[in-house]
Structure 1
């Protein structure tokens, strides 16, 4: 049995490569067929020469990704490990590193954490209009916001427009307390939350006051032409056909738009076709329009969220058998 010891620059690098409690080592051992032992600043690999070589390349790839500024969390390490197992590791490290998005000074750069997220970012970069379709937790709003902030700071655009339809998800909007702005604030809060991850709150407040950043319900877009703007429409599955057409025709010179939605979470009345569904079909071959589809594999929230999404997807697939058929013993 061959053996190799990999030394790290410091204890922090070692911890990020092997995980806080060496949590990444079991998967490394299983996927590459090696035995791995970690100590303060080094990692010992045991196995055949070929197995050790493959595992070492993977570890070196993680080091390279870390030096590029990528955060080595469970999702990123898992994506890169799978890429190295399949023989495309170096190319994927280079691809993910090349998609770095720099946001406000003092904030960590944003990188895609999954291959689906990488495709989403590439689509935003190359298309004037991008549809981001996928379940909750896949980072659609987060990545689009990072691209918007980056574009503003590089002066590629002169303002950011953030909007979403104010559709009740089972609650009655009219019964909420306050004036109109206070009523719609809960619907816009997720956009602010994503924005605060990219810029300090004080800077956001100043830019909102100056009109450089605008966060408003979709209805406020009517009758406007949005030039040199980065526009994000979130929760687009809750737009009607008329609202979607109205929004898409607001796009002005030098602007870029990202339309995000999850067609499994539609809050419209059953007799209303989601505008997102129609737009996806009609525009799928239009030049300048890109469609990025994310799946449960791209969920970057708690691992349980991915399993929940898969369970509901299975339910929809088996709907013809009835909601409870075959569920005994689960």
Structure 2
């Protein structure tokens, strides 16, 4: 890869001019070589696309050629990927991309500490942070009573929060989980749908049910809801309550009014933890109505035991195109603001 086409975070042209081209031998663990390299070497191809080196593998022996700085970086990435494989984790092309980004970050951290930190696991499927931003978000939930997870669609705001709630319930840190979101229409008019009040509200809460079903046996969820251990309800149902010993998640918080946001935050009871998630670029409130999420960032910034976790397009773990769509919309809105 020519230096002028370097990836973000790679060394500058000046550094390339000071380096020499070298070759290093590297040994892959026989038990995990296929996990690290991927199906048809797809992980290896991603690695070579992201770092300007050539990696030739025969059996468990690899020869890495390129600028000395990049060879050292490649070896560090491979060390981390092998450590993850040894823990029994599957390594995907996305895992490789995230590993390279973490190693390249201005304050590099251990890839295994970020990508191999399981929150919960069910039927062999583990929920864990997949980016450095997600790991910082999860850590903030552990260390603060109220956390705001702000970021674009697909960045894991709600999914990771629900995983932390289930983890807290399993470890008996809390006795119940409360999931809520404002019943605000995203352009569609649903008010004239037939059915009971609960049936009308259900579409708004469906994403929360979906996240729960990924982490708890679907057959158990109705029993937990009947007993009050899990509650999924519109934000309006929170008024007048004090939520003790609970893990409370407010989703789609960009669609709260300032009064609703204050009402929700003041429901905090003893032994409770709150996570508020939202994307301030997707507000569905009527024109002219202020978003409570936008305002609360100014009101509570700097308040002890309250943390604002900012997730970005690089934290999106859906289809790669979603990140590019998010970036394109952000650029358009900044240009036209």
Q: Which of 9, 30, 34 is the matching residue for 1:9? A: 30
**Which residue is 2:65 aligned to?**
47
Q: Which runs of 5+ in 1 are unaligned?
A: 321-330
TM-superposed deviation, 1:281: 1.1
Q: Is the 8 A contact 2:50 2:97 kept in 1?
A: no
State the shift of 1:318 in Å.
1.4
> Given the two structures, how large is their TM-score scaled by the length of structure 2?
0.86
1:183-234, CA deviations, whole angstroms, 9 ceiling, x for partnerless residues?
1111111001111111110122221121100001111111111100000000
* Counterparts of residues 88-107 of structure 1 (less than 5 Å): 91-96=109-114, 99-103=117-121, 105-107=122-124
Alpha-carbon distance change, 55 to 180 in structure 1, aligned in 2, over 3 angstroms? same
Q: Does 2:310 correspond to 1:293?
A: yes
Alignment partner, residue 18 of structure 2: none
Is 2:96 the partner of 1:77?
yes
Quote the Cα distance in structure 1 between the aligned partners of 2:47 and 2:117: 25
Written as runs of structure 1 = structure 2, the 5 A alignment for 1:213-228 is 213-228=230-245
| Pairing of 1:1-330 with structure 2 (within 5 A) | 2=23, 4-10=25-31, 13-38=32-57, 42=60, 44-47=62-65, 50=68, 52-68=71-87, 70-85=89-104, 91-96=109-114, 99-103=117-121, 105-319=122-336
- Deviation track 1:139-183 (CA, whole Å, cap 9, x = no partner) reads 011100110000000000000000001111112232112111111
RMSD of aligned C-alpha atoms? 2.3
What is the CA distance between 1:292 and its match in structure 2? Answer: 0.2
Closer/same/farther in 2, CA of residues 82 and 172 from structure 1, 3 Å limit: closer
Aligned residues of 2:47 and 2:96 also touching (Cα < 8 A): no
What is the distance in 1 between the residues matched to 2:235 and 2:204?
11
Give the Cα separation in 2 of the matches to 1:291 and 1:36: 41
Give yes or no for contact 2:145–2:306 (8 Å, CA) kept in 1.
yes
Which ranges of structure 2 fall in alignment gaps of 5 or more residues? Answer: 1-21
Give the Cα separation in 2 of the matches to 1:303 and 1:275. Answer: 30
Shift of 1:271: 1.5
SS in 2 for 1:201: coil
Question: Which deviations, in whole Å up to 9, do the C-alpha atoms of 1:35-54 show, x marking residues without a partner?
Answer: 22346x53522326945554
Deviations 1:13-46 (A, max 9, x none): 333322323223234335554322346x535223
Deviation >6 Å, runs of 4+: none
Counterparts in 2 of 1:83 and 1:56: CA distance versus 1, 3 Å: same
Contact kept? 2:46, 2:96, Cα under 8 Å: no
Give the Å deviation of 1:61: 0.8
